[in-house]
Amino acid sequence: MSDAKLAALIARLNEDAAVPTAHWTFEGSVPFGETGPTGEAAPRLLRFLLGNGLRLLLLVDKSAPVLSYFTWFRVGSRHEREGKTGLAHLFEHLMFNETEGLAAGEFDRKLEENGAESNAATWLDWTYYYESLPKDRFPLAVKLESERMARLVLREPQVASEKDVVANERRMRVDDDVEGTANEILYKTAFTVHPYHWPTIGWMKDIEGFTPDDCVDFYKTFYAPNNATVVVVGDVNEKDVLAKIRDAYGPIPTSSIPEEDTQPEPPQAGRRELSMKKPTPSEKVLVGYRGPALGDAEHATLVVLNEVLFGGRASRIYRELVIAKETCTEVRGWVSTFRDPGLYELYFTARPGVSGDAILSAVDAQLERLKTELIESEEIDRAKARLELGLLQSLETTSGKAEQIGFYDTVLGDPTAAFRRLERYRRVTAGELRTAARRWLVDEARTIIRVLPEPETEADPIAGAAE
């Protein structure tokens, strides 16, 4: 449907709207993808805004008779405050519980009966919920998602039940998990004032202390149409989508969302290092360098650099530490994809008897090479090819497309930014990689967490700290 026809459709729908907050505004369309090899145009991603602030991103994709329905809320653990950490993640559980129109368990049962799959995720900058289902079940997704956005039940039994679930999840994924504990301590140590300091799942004492009032306040503030974006991708009709979402969401009132009050993390002036004792058969080493924000011009460059170091069995670190020196059984690296500057994380599992010092020495030698030598074009091309393949594979399904659209829209305000990143990967040069290594891989701005293989004790596992 052309932009002119969409504008005419919006005008007709608005004439029938029951309330002013159910009026649509068509905000235009943008190409989703690149021009095809024979000149065919990319599909268009359509952007709409409802009168109460709900945003809709719609991509019609008739390659299969299915659709994916994502609801992205612009709230994550960064929006919490000290003493109330973990609220954003708790809602990931509460939202599958009871609503005024659905008894506990009925939400999942209805989706399962209709052949749908659903899930949710919470992180530092965002939260999303999704359903993927047959195309003729679109009304069900609209009904269920609008219901739990507006009429979630948050009384003592519901809150207490989900607090227990989350507390057990934390014990399993963090407190009783060596890597989970180490990763939590890495961020707690690397960040001192920014809310990336605390884990998305929250501190245990905060989880145990949540009240229904805490949950109601959080829900009324952040789970509102003017803090949400619905992404629909699949075999759908534009008029049907607009009419059903208008009718279901239009009457939902807006909320007063407070301005964010985040303290920027100050520059790190010296190395931070901690050791912890855990029942592990060999040492583990986690390293966190200060990393760029997702929107930083050098973020894509550092991602290519990470691929040179850790991208598969032909990468430098794998060949050196796993194959040549046989000091590690596992190595990996990841550049955080956060709205604010985050970390460049490196992770190493030593072979039994190998020390963390030996690993760090070998890694430092590899990193020093990056600062002094230009990387050969073959290595760079391999890294770029792997990144391009991974990005394009993530767009093979309706749910993959909807997730990418919602992620980049929520974090960067650009729903098609994935393709800008692809272009950026292709343009990265050897000189830029060397410059990025010199800028970001700085010893004075890194945090090191060592996990030492000792039996578990009742004492504080933190053995020492120094900066």
Tell me: pLDDT of 35 over 80: no
pLDDT at 36 (0 to 100): 73
pLDDT digits (tens, 9 = 90+) for 50-100: 999 999 999 999 999 999 999 999 999 999 999 999 999 999 999 999 999
pLDDT digits (tens, 9 = 90+) for 240-277: 999 999 999 999 999 999 999 999 999 999 999 999 99
Instruction: Tell me the C-alpha distance between 128 and 132, whole Å.
Output: 13
Q: How confident is the model at residue 41 (pLDDT cuts 50, 70, 90)?
A: confident
Q: How many CA atoms lie within 13 A of 234 on its CB side?
A: 27
Prediction pTM value: 0.93
> Quick one: average pLDDT of 337-365?
97
Proportion of the chain above pLDDT 70, given as a percent: 97
pLDDT at 167 (0 to 100): 97
Instruction: Tell me the C-alpha distance between 230 and 85, whole Å.
Output: 26
The position carrying tokens 């059984």 is: 329
Structural contact between residues 350 and 356, judged by C-beta atoms closer than 8 angstroms: yes
Characterize 243-271 residue by residue with b for buried, 16 or more Cβ atoms within 10 angstroms of its Cβ, and e for exposed. bbbbbbbbebeebeeeeeeeeebeebeee
> Quick one: average pLDDT of 21-43?
87
pLDDT at 57 (0 to 100): 98
Neighbours of 320 (CB within 10 A): 18
pLDDT at 460 (0 to 100): 53
Please name the residues in contact with 11: beta carbons below 8 A apart, sequence gap of 6 or more: none
C-alpha closest to that of 346 among 357, 363, 362, 334? 334
Q: How many CA atoms lie within 13 A of 339 on its CB side?
A: 23
Structural contact between residues 225 and 147, judged by C-beta atoms closer than 8 angstroms: no
Strand partners, 70: 130, 231
